[in-house]
Chain A
Amino acid sequence: MRLSRVRKLVQAATFAAFLVLLVRARSLSGVGVPVEAFPRMSPFSALAAAFASRRITCISGVAVLVALSAVLLGRFFCGWVCPMGTTLDVTDRLLKPWRREGRRVYDGRRAKYYLLALLLLLALLGVQWAGLFDPLSVATRTYGLAVQPWATRGIDETLRVGAALPVVGRAAENVRVGLAGALDAHPPPTYRQHGVILLVFVVVVLLGLLRTRYWCRNLCPLGAMLGLFSLRNLLRRKVSDECTSCGRCPPLCPMGAIPPDRPTHTLAGECILCMNCRDVCPHGAVAFGPRQPAEQSEEVDLSRRAVLAAAATAVVLAPATRVISSAGLGSGRPSLIRPPGALPEVDFLAACIRCGECMRVCPTNGLQPVGFERGLDGLWSPRLVPRIGPCDYRCNACTRVCPTGALRPLDLADKQRRAIGLARVDRSRCIPWVGSQAYAKDGGGAADCNCGVCEEFCPVPTKAIRFNSVHVPGIGEVRRPFIVESLCVGCGTCEHVCPVPGQAAIRVEGRQLLLDQQGSAALGDLFPLSLAGLQRMESPHLYEGSEGLWNYIDGGADPYLTYAFLRAGTCQYGAGGQARVKLDIWQFGNTADAFGVHNLDRAVDAQPLDVGDAAAATADSLWMWQDKYAVWLRAAAGRAALKDGREMAKQVSAMLPPTGARRPALVSRLPASQQAPLSALYFHSARAMTLAAQNRDLYLAEKAIPDDILGASVSGVMAQYEVSGGKKAWLVLAGPDGASLAARFAEMRRNWGQPEETADGITIFAESDGFFAAQLVSDALLIAALRCPSRADALALVRRATRQAR
C-alpha cells in the first residue's frame, strides 16, 4: 500500500477524533474523556504558557511526547496529526484551480522561526500571545467557537423550516432533535467574536492561493519549533543514485521542501513525511530512514540580524501590549468574571492559550471569548457573561479541560466553595425599589412590587440572596433583596433570570475568593417550623451586629456587647393562633462567650438539665448553651409554665453544631469544692461583672473593683463559695493579659487605700461590709476574694485558689 494513502487515512482518523472531541465536548467531558487532548499536544503553546506564567506544570506529558516525536521522526506531527495541516491539505486541493504557483510571492521559511523567537521572548517577558498563533489553539478555537456553532445553528434552522412543512414535517423534526442531541446542541451554542475568529482562519486558508500549506511553510511557530527539534532526526529523506531528476516529486511536495532544480536535496526542518515523493518516484529512488547523506540536506539560514530584530521587537511589544490593555490605560479594572479555578488574573492571562475548550464544554453557553474589552492582553480569553448563561452551580466541566492549567482542576465540592464573582443589586432598576410599573408594557403594572426571582433561583443551598421586608405606604409589604457577600459564589444565575429588560437589576462583578463555609448556617434556619407540637407563628426576627443587639434588647445591650456577639433571633410558637412559647437563639463568635452569656442570663434558682453543652431551667424558662449558641426558651404569656421545655431544647439542640464544646480554660481553674452550683460566671469587662454580680445580690463598690480592672483582652471568671457559718463569698480569677495585669493589680491596690499585706504576698483590705483579699499569682493570673464574712475566710479562699492555680 502506498504510504501517502496510509497517511491520509491517519489524517482522517485524527481529524475525526479532533472533531468528535470538540463537538461532543460537553457530554464526553462528563464521562472523563480528555476532550482537551489536541490543544494539550502543542509543545510550543505549553512552553510559552510555562514561560509567561512561570509554571512548569503548563507543559503536559503529551506535549513532551510530541516534542520527542520530532526529535526522532521530524515534522511527522505536521503531516499526519495536526488538524490545521489536515484542514489545509483539503482546502489547498479545493483552491487548486485558482492557485498560481509561478507568481512571485514572499516564501521565506525563516519567517516562522522569527515568529517563534518573538513569541517565546514575549512569553519570557510575561506577554503570552502563543495561543493566538499556535495551530492547535487556532484550530480548536475556530472549529469549536465558530464552525461548530455555525454548522449546528444552520442545520437547526434549516430543519426548523422543514419541520413546518406538510408530510415531511415530522421526519424533519425528529432528525432535528436527533442531530441536536448528537451534536450537543440543545440549543445550538453561540459565541461572541465568532466572526473575527473565523475570519483569521479564512485568511490562513486563503494563503493557500499562493502556495500549498503556506501557513505551515512560512508562519507556523509550532512547525518551526518541531523543525528545530528535528535537525538531527532519524527519519530523513534519502535519494539514491537511481534518481534521474525527472522532476515529478518537487511539485507534489506540499511543503515545497524539494528544490525543483535539486530534487535529491531536502530543506531541513521542512519535510512533513507526507510520502508523496516516495510514492510518485518511478524508480523507487526515495526512501526514508537514518543516515541521510550530508550533502542532501539544505540547512535554513537564520540571519543573526533577523533574530536580533525579533528580540528587539519583543522588548518593544511587551510593554506596548500593557499600554494598549485597558488596565494599563487606567480606565478602571474591568471586572470580568473568570471561570472557576482561574489563576490570579495576571497569571491566568499568561497561562491561558485561548483554545476555547472551556467555552465549548460550558453547558449554559455562558463562557464567552473576551473581545477587546480587556485590551490586547485578554483577547479571546474566557469570561462568564451571565445574561447569556450562568455558571451552573453543580458543574465543574471547565475546570477539568484546561490544557495548561490556567483553570485549576477543582472537584465539585471545592468549586462550590470558590466565588468567581459577587452580585450587587442595582436599586435604580430593581423592581422592589422602583415598582413594577416602570417595566409594565401597557403602562399599568401591578400594584405588587414584589419580585424575588433572583432569590428563587439562587443555587447556593442556604441562599446568598435574602430579603429585607419594608412597609411601603400605599403598597404594603415589599421584600427587597440583598446579597450575603460571604455566601455569594458569583455564578450569575440571578443576573441571568432577572426579569428587568435589558441590563439586569442585579449584576455580578468578578472576584476569585475562597468562601468560608462557617457562616453558611443562617440563624433563621435554626428555628424549626414546629416545636414539640407547637407551630411556628411567624418568620424569625433577626438582629445582626451591635446595632441589631441594641434593637433586640431595647437598651440593655452594653454588658452583652463585650461578648463576641454576632446575631440573635427570636420567634414565637403556638397553637390555635395563640402564642405559647418564645424561642431566642444567640450566635457568638466563639464558644467561650456563648458560655458566658448563657451563665450570665440564667436565673439563680434554675436547676441543671442534661441537654446541649449546658442547660438549666426554671418553671417558665430554659437556658441552653451549645457550641457558639446560647438558647433561651420561655413561656410567652405572663407566668404560664413552660411545658415540654426539655423536649423543645433537644429539638433545637439537634439543629445546632454537635455538642462537646469546652468551657473557657479559666473556669477549670476555679476550685470545685464548696462552689455553689451554677454560680460560675465568665466575662470580659468589669461592667459585665458588676451587672452579673448584681443579679446575684452582690453589689460591688467601684472602690473594690475599678472599672478598668478588666478590659477587652482580659477574661474573668467568678463563682460563689460557701464559707464559714453558711455564708457566701465570691472568688474572682482574671487573666491572661501578660504584663498589664500587674499594672491593673497595682491600680486595684491603690484604690483600696492602705491595705495590709501577709507574708505570702496576699493583699487584704477591710470594708464595712466585708473583707477583700487579692494576690497576683503570675502575670497571667490575678485572684481575688470579694466580700468575705471574715478575714480568715478571705485568706483561705485566695490560698485555695492559688494552690490549685500552681
Chain B
Amino acid sequence: MSRRTLLKYGVALSAGLCGVSQLRSCKRPGRLKAFKPNELDKGLVVARGEDAAALTREAVQALGGMDRLVSRGDRVLVKPNMAWNSAPQYGANTNPQVVAEIVRMCVEAGARTVTVLDNTPSDNPAPAYEASGIAEAAREAGARVPFVRPDGFHMLPIPDAEAVTAWPFYERVVFADLCDVLINVPVAKNHSTSRLTMGLKNVFGMVGGRRGELHPDIHRKIADLNRVVRIDLTVLDAYRVLRRHGPSGGRLEDVDNSREGARRVVASVDRVAVDAYGATLFGMAPGELGFIKASHAAGLGEMDLSRVGVVELTV
C-alpha cells in the first residue's frame, strides 16, 4: 500500500468515525424513566435507634422490603448527598452506612447494577467522594461509584413549570434505558438558602447546568425540578442532623447527634411526606417551607402528616 493510499484511507476512516460519533451525540434523548410499579406501603416509616445500617434496613423492611421495589435485573441508581469534602461526623454528607445498606438491599433483591453518584459542586469530585466515606462503603457493598460525565446532561423541558421551564438533567437519572429504579438518599440539614435540605432539594445533585442560577426563587424551582425526576423511594438520613451553618457545616457543635433530635432514618415512596416529617425535626411546620408547599401543590406528594400513615419503630 502506498503512503498516499494509506493517508487517504486514514483520513476517510477518521472522518467517518468522527461523523458517526457526532451523529450519535446529537441523537434525540431516549424515553424518560417512569415510576417503577411497586408494592411498597404508601405510608411513612420512622426508625429510631443507634445503628444506622440497622435503622435503614428496618425502615425499608417496614415499607415491605426492597424486593417489592427492585426486581431481578434492574439497574438501580442511588443518589446520596456526597457534595462536600467533609468527614461523616460533620453531617454534611449522607451517612455512608445508610447508603451502603441501601446498596446491599438492592443487591440482595437481585439488581443487575447499583450505581451511586452525585454531581458535586466541585469540578473534581474525588475529594468529596472519598472524604464522605460513601465511595468506599458503597463499593464494598457492591455498587459502582462513577463520577458524572460532564457531557451526560440533557436539557429537558419541565411540564407545567412555574419558575424554570427547562434544565439539563443527568442521563442516568432520567432515561429509561439507563435506570429502572431511582432511590434518593438525602441527609437532613440546615440550608442557608432553602432553610432546610432533605429529599426534594437533593435533586440539585441530579442536574447540571449553572446551578447557582437556581437559587433565586429556589422553592418553586426545587418543585419544578422534582416534576421531571421519577424518584421511586426516598430514604432520609437523620442519624446526624446538621442544625446550623448548613449546608457545608464543619463544626461538631452544630451537629445534633442526640436521641431526641436525631438518630433516625425516615423512608417513604412519598418524597414530600419525607421532607414534611424532616421539617418537624427542625421544629418547623411543613407549610413553613416554600419548597414543600410548592411540591405539594405540584402534586408530588402529601405534606399533611396527619393524612400520611406514620409508623414509628425503635430498632
Do A and B assemble together? yes
* A-to-B contact residues, CB < 8 Å: 160-162, 164-166, 169, 173, 177, 186-187, 363-365, 389, 392-395, 431, 436, 439, 446-453, 455-463, 467, 497-499, 525, 529-530, 535-536
* Cβ contact within 8 Å between B21 and A164: yes
Contacts of B150 in A (CB 8 A): 187
Binds A, one of B41-49, B99-107, B246-254, B269-277: B246-254
Size class of the B contact interface (CB-based, 8 Å): 35 or more
Query: Shortest CB–CB separation between residue B310 and chain A, in angstroms?
Result: 20
Q: Specify the chain A residue showing the minimal Cβ separation from B24.
A: A164
Query: Residue B287 at the A interface, CB < 8 A?
Result: no
Mark each residue of chain B from 220 to 244: 1 if its CB lies under 8 Å from any CB of chain A, else 0: 0000000000000000000000011
Contact assessment for B163 and A162 in the assembled complex, using a CB-CB cutoff below 8 Å: no
Assembled-state Cα–Cα distance A447/B220 (Å): 12
Closest-by-CB residue of B relative to A447 is: B217
Q: Decide: A392 near B216, CB < 8 A? Known: A161-B18, A166-B24, A462-B245.
A: no
Q: Closest chain A residue to B129 by CB distance? A: A186
Across the interface, do A453 and B212 meet the contact criterion of CB distance under 8 Å?
yes
Q: Is B160's beta carbon under 8 Å from chain A?
A: no
Nearest residue, chain B, Cβ from A439: B213
Cβ of A597 to closest chain B Cβ, rounded Å = 25
Chain B residues closer than 8 Å to A462, beta-carbon distance: 245, 251
Tally inter-chain residue pairs, CB-CB below 8 A.
Answer: 119
Which of B25, B125, B250 sits near A164, CB closer than 8 Å? B25
Task: Jot down 20 A-B pairs with beta carbons below 8 A, ordered by A.
Answer: A162-B21, A165-B17, A165-B24, A177-B146, A186-B147, A364-B124, A365-B123, A389-B122, A395-B85, A450-B218, A455-B192, A458-B248, A461-B249, A461-B254, A463-B192, A497-B121, A497-B212, A499-B210, A499-B215, A529-B243
A449-B216, A453-B212, A461-B249 known; A160-B121 Cβ under 8 A: no
Known: A459-B248, A525-B254. 7 other contacts (CB 8 A): A389-B122, A393-B250, A394-B131, A431-B216, A448-B216, A457-B121, A499-B213
Among candidates A162, A395, A450, A453, residue contacting B127 with C-beta atoms closer than 8 Å: A395
Given contacts A186-B147, A461-B254, contact A363 B126 (CB under 8 A): yes
Report chain A residues within 8 Å CB of B85.
392-395
CA distance A525 to B243 in the complex (A): 10
CA separation between A457 and B193, bound complex, in Å? 11
A392:B127 contact, CB within 8 angstroms? yes
Instruction: Give B286 Cβ to nearest chain A Cβ, in Å.
Output: 15
B-chain residues with CB within 8 Å of residue A460 when the two chains form the complex: 250
| B94 contacts chain A at the CB level, 8 A cutoff | no
> Bound state CA distance, A161 and B20, in angstroms?
9
Q: Please, which residues of chain A bring their CB within 8 A of the CB of B146? A: 177
Complex CA distance for A364 and B283, rounded to whole angstroms: 38
B154: CB under 8 A from chain A?
no
Contact of A161 among B17, B244, B247 (CB under 8 A): B17
Chain A residues near B250 (CB-CB < 8 A) = 393, 459-461
Q: Are B21 and A161 in contact (CB under 8 A)?
A: yes
Q: A392-B127, A394-B85, A529-B283 are in contact. Are A456 and B248 (CB under 8 A)?
A: yes
Residues on the A chain within 8 Å of B25, using CB: 164
Q: In the bound complex, how far is the Cα of B249 from the Cα of A363, in angstroms?
A: 21
B127-A451 in contact (CB<8A): no
Nearest CB in chain A: distance from B260 CB, A: 9
Contact of B244 among A169, A439, A450, A525 (CB under 8 A): A525
- Encode contact with A along B7-29: 1 for CB under 8 Å, 0 otherwise: 00000000001101110110000
Instruction: Kindly provide the distance from the CB of A681 to the nearest chain B CB, expressed in whole angstroms.
Output: 34
A393 surroundings in chain B (CB, below 8 A): 85, 250
Question: Do A365 and B245 have beta carbons less than 8 Å apart?
Answer: no
Q: Which residues of B contact A450 (CB under 8 A)?
A: 193, 215-218
Bound CA span A415–B262, Å = 32
**Shortest distance from the beta carbon of B1 to any chain A beta carbon, whole Å:** 24
- Interface residue? B175 (CB, 8 A): no
- Residues on A with C-beta less than 8 A from B193 are 450-453, 455-456
CB of B139 within 8 Å of the partner chain? no
Neighbouring B residues of A164 by C-beta, 8 Å:
20-22, 24-25
What distance in Å separates the Cβ of A101 from its nearest Cβ neighbour in chain B? Answer: 29
A530 & B283 in contact (Cβ 8 Å cutoff): yes
Give the complex CA separation of A467 and B215 in angstroms. Answer: 15
Chain B residues 178-217 with CB under 8 Å of chain A are 191-193, 210-213, 215-217
- Residues in A with CB closer than 8 Å to B17 are 161-162, 165
A161 to B18: give the CA distance in the assembly, Å. 7
Decide if B95 is an interface residue (CB 8 Å cutoff): no
Do B282 and A364 touch across chains, with their CB atoms under 8 A apart?
A: no
Question: Is B86 part of the contact surface with A, judged by Cβ < 8 Å?
Answer: yes
Contact: B123 with A456, CB < 8 Å? no
Which residues from A are CB-within-8-Å of B247?
Answer: 456
B125 touches A186 (CB 8 A): yes
Bound Cα distance A365, B125 (Å): 12
